[in-house]
Amino acid sequence: MIEILYQDDHYVAVNKRSGLVVHPTKLAPDAVAVLPSLRKQLDRYVYPVHRIDRGTSGIVVFGLSPDAARQFGELMQAREVDKQYLAVLRGYADDVGRIDYAIEDADKQNGRLDSVTDYWCERRVEIPYAVGPYEQSRYSLVIVKPLTGRRHQIRKHFAHLRHPVIGDSTYGDGDHNRLYRQAFRCRRLLLMASSLSFTHPATGERVDIACGVPKRIERLFERFGWFDVPLRHEETAETV
């Protein structure tokens, strides 16, 4: 069963597990897709309005009609949907920052596209595990708010800062990913869509959806002394 976080007459928001894809794709033909599973679970047609990476867990919204999906898409285009994520990074991130760094179009047709990401560092830890020449390893837990919606934007932006997301096999640090697999039995991307807010197109009411940290990741956080982790941030990051 797919966990439903929010549902009304127009939208349904679910908690996508890491490893699932939002809809069937030729890039991952054997992966379980949320879209057909949710249609079967609800016994009705649902319409995708956005997506998150296969390795990312957390909030995904679907429209329950073509018109609702179109209206939500318009909110996304106007940047009126507040999406925030939790991520574990290699190293100590700044307290607050803005990454304004163009990244290449996923289809390689439009060159480099303007891309902006805000972030806030909520927790830091140094653990007694050696990686490379260092006897200790440092990590940061950040809340991330992408202001644009490019493919792999968060992962690319933090790799650009030399603070890659742990578990990222494409842009990340293989040595630190290996440490998490061996020492903590954590094989997933540590990126989670934890909060999503928008003004409902049909009712005009503000909708705030939150998704807690998966239990296995919560236990890992507790080993680091990261308790009561916030799921969203209200302020705007300062430009760096």
Name the phi and psi angles at 36, rounded to 5.
-65, -30
Contact 167, 174 (CB under 8 A): no
Give which of 67, 82, 229 is closest to 146, Cα–Cα. Answer: 82
Which of these is catalytic: 53, 118, 168, 173? Answer: 53
Q: Which residue has the tokens 């890039």?
A: 27
Listed in sequence order, the DSSP H helices in the chain are 34-42, 66-77, 153-160, 174-184, 215-223
Joined tokens for residue 193? 């869509």
Distances (CA, A) of 3 to 13, 14, 76, 150, 165: 9, 6, 23, 26, 25
* Residue 118 annotated in active site: no
Q: d(Cα 93, Cα 142) in Å, to the nearest integer? A: 8
Joined tokens for residue 29? 């033909």
Q: d(Cα 224, Cα 218) in Å, to the nearest integer? A: 10
Q: d(Cα 231, Cα 236) in Å, to the nearest integer? A: 15
Give which of 159, 154, 130, 136 is closest to 144, Cα–Cα. Answer: 154
Joined tokens for residue 62? 């679907």
Query: Which active-site residues does the annotation give?
Result: 53
